[in-house]
Structure 1
Amino acid sequence: MRLLGVGMCAAALAAGLLAAPAYAEAEDVHDVQGYDVQGLRGVGWALKETGKDSRFRGLAAVSRSTAWVAGSKGTVLRTVDGGRSWRDVSPPGAVAEGLELRDIEAFDARRAVALSIGEGEASRVLRTEDGGATWTETFRNPDPRAFYDCLTFFDSRHGLAVSDPVDGRFRILSTDDGGRNWSVLPSTGMPDALPGEAGFAASGQCLVSAGSRDVWLATGGGAAARILHSADRGRTWRIAESGIPAGDPAKGVFALAFRDRTRGLAVGGDYRTGEASPQAAAASADAGRTWSPAQTPPPAYRSGAAWLPHLRDAALAVGPTGTDVTTDGGRSWRPLTPGSFDTGSFDTVDCAGDGGCWAAGEKGRVGRLEPQGGA
């Protein structure tokens, strides 16, 4: 969205905490190695010094040890040692032009695709195959009316990016070769956008996928905050209303997270500092056909969300004022018990399959979710 775009766990939870099949799906286990499974007590964000002051809204968690972050000033960092050290792998051209890199998707420690946002040619896609040593620009938006917000991949070959509406409909960009080449999909299967409706380039999570063909798009800014779903990699879409308040350019759904093809979470609110964000979370159990508002939503605007691996109903939501956790699939949220951990601002959160969960945000902040006393 233009307004936000120009304005604005092992470590985490070590294999011993998350991967044990004896309790991974249990709902009545409360203590595992001193860790409250239901309340996620005894864990929190351990900050990992990056040495940068960029705002990192793009994040890709590859594993407990490997993660990528992308942000303002064209900055991209990568760690392969759990955040103990970071390598500056920023694309030189992006740094020179001060591009806003708002999303990054990584397949492993060497291959990643980053999205720069903005009107016209500011929207670009960059790709690396050597851990960021070199980057190739694979797409530069030629249309001054388009503004790309988010990026997602179904697998290492098939991916999509979304632009705010052009000629009254969201525009979808597609690749089938890992981001080397891109093409705009026909708009015939995309419903009309509402007046003022757009996506939020807040966390790289306004466009998310699950499985080989399903993808969801979150919107705001219009009269209703809607969630669009495609089951054919972006060619045709259907619409559902999220129930999250909208009706203002600063309000709507800012992030989605799907555990699988059916179970999803939506978070958002009003991103303006000091503004209330009631009913700013919802959940779906039917692939996004319908959404139910959280009975106890997060207390403030949230811009990022991620399911915790191996814990069936647990997920995290982050925002400028803190982190919230649900252990009942999004029906209720409560602040993550901080203990001695950091409780500050994050914009985005992502979890890898091995249990490594990372968060990133303003002033170069990156954290990894860890048990009390460190991983």
Structure 2
Amino acid sequence: MDRRNFIIAGAAFVATPAAAAGGLVIPASSTDSELRGLSPTGGKAFWASGSKGWVVRGKGQRQDAFRIVGAEALDFRGLHAFDDQHVLAMSAGPGEASQLWRTRDSGKTWTRITTNQDPDGFWDSIAFVDKKRGFILGDPTQGRFTVLYTNDAGETWARLKPEGVPLAAANEGAFAASNGCVAIGRRGQVAFCTGGAGKARVYLSRGGGGVFVAMETPILADAPSKGAFAVTFAKDGTLWVCGGDYKSPQGKGVNLARLAPGALAFEPVAAPAGYLSAISAKGDTVIATGLAGTIVSRGGGAFERVSAAPMNSVRLTSKKAAVLCGPKGTIGLWKA
């Protein structure tokens, strides 16, 4: 499945809006990196990461771009910022191209802390429960998805017992498109989503990741480019999943579904057509984005398109604001 498609430069960059559409402001880019990793740290502050070893520290329209020495060839598709100073950047790629780097001084210096030693492995996403406990999801090896766990803020990782993860279907894999294919819920819930094997699936654990149950979604995954790309838990316990076909960004078909609290099956949700690679929920606001643009539902209402600008990732910072990132270093700032 082809889903994987010290500082040497650091520039303070203050941009003026280059475009605004439907509440989305897009400042001028500070790098040409394909940005996919995204992690807000409070208020208007956030971190983003992407290809060619680039990471971006932002605050509103201000962007500080850094390129990590020794990681210039890596594609940092995953990112988790504990705070403004302490950040983990995860690269995605086959074998040793999957790595984890850390800064504790706001990006001035970076240290590689671990490298994937499985030549068949490929890391897709990283997510944390709190400041110590976290997960890395990797594509299947030995017939099952790789789920790594840390309880020391990422210093050491161990694979969860393989028998706790159901066997993967032929050609099934996760998408390293937005660092969104793993989600952490309340009371120990962990979920990840997949594609490429007929119906897109969500693997759900209600016990802290020990045992997962695979559930089908109504999102089609009958080609390597199709499936579920991202999941998120809402505060009320609803589990949202989005996806589509990245090779056909404007394609029709189910691109959004949800598992209501206590429900036994995912149900499709009406939404504007097009491929969605990331989703975020806060309060009664749900926002999703992808190469087809950005859609939003507020107060339980219908999803409406607020921008046609292509993006890769989105994170709500409040019920009325979000930060997005995407191709060619694009940063987006949405306000209701």
1:197-236 equivalences under 5 Å are 197-211=172-186, 213-236=188-211
- Number of residue pairs matched by the alignment: 321
The 3 A distance-change label for structure 1 pair 133 and 119 is same
Partner of 1:335: 305
**Is contact 1:210-1:261 (8 Å) kept?**
no
Change in Cα spacing, 1:274 to 1:261, as seen in structure 2 (3 Å) is closer
Deviation at 1:129, TM superposition (A): 1.4
Shift of 1:185: 1.6
The CA distance in 1 between the partners of 2:289 and 2:184, in whole Å, is 20
Q: Give the alignment partner of residue 310 of structure 2, picking from 345, 358, 365.
A: 345
Residue of structure 2 equivalent to 1:112 = 87
1:92 equivalent in alignment to 2:92: no
**Structural RMSD (CA):** 2.0
Question: In structure 1, which of residues 325, 337, 341 is the aligned counterpart of residue 296 of structure 2?
Answer: 325
Distance in 1, matches of 2:335 and 2:302, equals: 23
Question: Distance between the aligned counterparts of 1:205 and 1:288, measured in 2?
Answer: 22
Question: Going by fraction, where is strand more abundant, 1 or 2?
Answer: 2
1:245-298 residue CA offsets vs partner (Å, 9 max, x unmatched): 11211111011111137212111011103662311110111277421101x223
1:299 pairs with 2:273: yes
Aligned-partner Cα distance in 2 for 1:251–1:276: 11
Other structure's SS at 2:52 match: helix
Give aligned-pair identity as a percent: 32
Q: Which has the higher contact order (CA 8 A, sep 6+)?
A: 1
Q: Which moved more, 1:274-283 or 1:235-244?
A: 274-283
Instruction: For 1:207 and 1:162, locate their aligned partners in 2 and report how far apart those are by CA, in whole Å.
Output: 7
Q: Does 2:219 align with 1:270?
A: no
Following TM superposition, by how much is the alpha carbon of 1:334 offset from its aligned partner in structure 2, in angstroms?
Answer: 2.2
Shift of 1:49: 2.7
| CA distance in structure 2 between the aligned counterparts of 1:78 and 1:49, rounded to whole angstroms | 14
The answer to which of 351-360 and 275-284 deviates more is 351-360
Q: Deviations over 1:335-367 (max 9, x none)?
A: 12x5xxxx4111110022585410000011001
Gaps of 5+ in 1: 7-41
Return the alpha-carbon distance in structure 1 between the equivalents of residues 186 and 107 of structure 2. 27
C-alpha change, 1:298 and 1:214, in structure 2 (3 Å) is same
Query: What residue ranges of structure 2 are gaps of 5+ in the alignment?
Result: 6-20
Equivalence for 1:64? 43
Q: In 2, distance between residues paired with 1:92 and 1:140?
A: 16
Q: Distance in 2 between matches of 1:257 and 1:272?
A: 23
- Give distance in 1, aligned partners of 2:157 and 2:133: 10
Cα distance, 1:101 vs structure 2 = 0.6
Q: Whole-Å Cα distance in 2 between the matches of residues 276 and 197 of structure 1?
A: 21
TM-score for the superposition, normalised by structure 1: 0.81
Q: Is the 8 A contact 2:193 2:229 kept in 1?
A: yes
| SS class of match (2:3) | helix
* Separation (CA, whole Å) in 1 of partners of 2:208 and 2:87: 20
Distance (whole Å) between structure 1 residues aligned to residue 47 and residue 82 of structure 2: 10
User: Which residue of 2 is the match for residue 181 of structure 1?
Assistant: 156
What is aligned with 1:361?
326
Residue identity opposite 1:139 in structure 2 = T
| Aligned mates of 1:328, 1:355 — CA distance in 2 | 11
Q: Displacement, 1:51?
A: 1.8
**Aligned residues of 2:30 and 2:64 also touching (Cα < 8 A):** no
Return closer, same or farther for 1:246/1:230 CA change in 2, 3 Å cut-off: same
Shift of 1:315: 1.0
1:283 and 2:258 correspond: yes
- Give TM-score, length-normalised by structure 2: 0.90
